[in-house]
Amino acid sequence: MSEGSRPGKFQLIYFPVILILLVLGADQGLKFWVKTNMYIGQEFSILGNWFRFHFTENEGMAFGLTIGGDYGKLILSSFRIVALIGLVYYFVYLLRNTTRPGLVIAISLILSGALGNIIDSTFYGLWFNSSYNQLATFLPEGEGYATLMHGRVVDMLYFPVFEGYFPEWFPAWGGEYFIFFRPVFNIADAAITVGVLMIIIFQQRYFAEEDDEDLSAESDADAYDQAAQEAAGA
């Protein structure tokens, strides 16, 4: 890739940082609003019946998946922090070395989503009191609802696009009631999902071309060395 075709400094450095701040700000802003204006289980419609705000909290991973027990929660929170450190390292590496703005944007989305949920699980237990049957208070008098790294992730985006019953001939779930899409999630979950899908869909563009450039650079270096040796022998 010629120097003139490389993405500009704003595109490769400042834009990803701004994107991370925007996603993180939207995620945390919405979570703060939900925590202080809704109680767990409360729900209201945004666009008909297929897009609702439904306040719930989960102990574990994205889309309501969980790992039980205090030790499970501690392990999950610790794993998230370690994974975040790895993502930050890779993000900085990409800013310094890659010419693939799409890959940088994908990692930026994953990084911002991971950071958003880590803030919940690490600090929300200290920052808020319980949301069960009441509106939570930010920095309440006394203690919050949990200790450090034992907070719950706030979810509120609910898209039950359609619902019904599986036909009787359907394997395993025949005749059972279903809702699509059942999981309740947040902006951080959505950012992670979009970033991962970008990498899956465009992986050949993000990685194969970069490998080809590395091989081309190595071939050029080998050719240069060979030419130098021949010149020396002459």
Cβ atoms within 10 Å, residue 9: 10
Residue tagged active-site, from 70, 155, 211, 222:
155
Q: Are strands 184-185 and 153-158 parallel, antiparallel or unpaired?
A: antiparallel
CA distance 87 to 148: 22
The beta strand positions in 38-81, using DSSP E, are 43-47, 51-58
Active site residue 189: yes
Element (H, E) at 166: none
CB 24 within 8 A of CB 116: yes
70 catalytic per annotation: no
Q: Are 161 and 180 in contact (CB under 8 A)?
A: yes
Check 27, 189, 211, 222 and give the catalytic one: 189
C-alpha 80/C-alpha 74 separation (Å) is 10
Instruction: State residue 186 phi and psi, 5-degree precision.
Output: -135, 180
Q: Residue 128 is which amino acid? A: F
Provide the β-strand partners of residue 58: 153
Q: Which residues are catalytic?
A: 155, 189
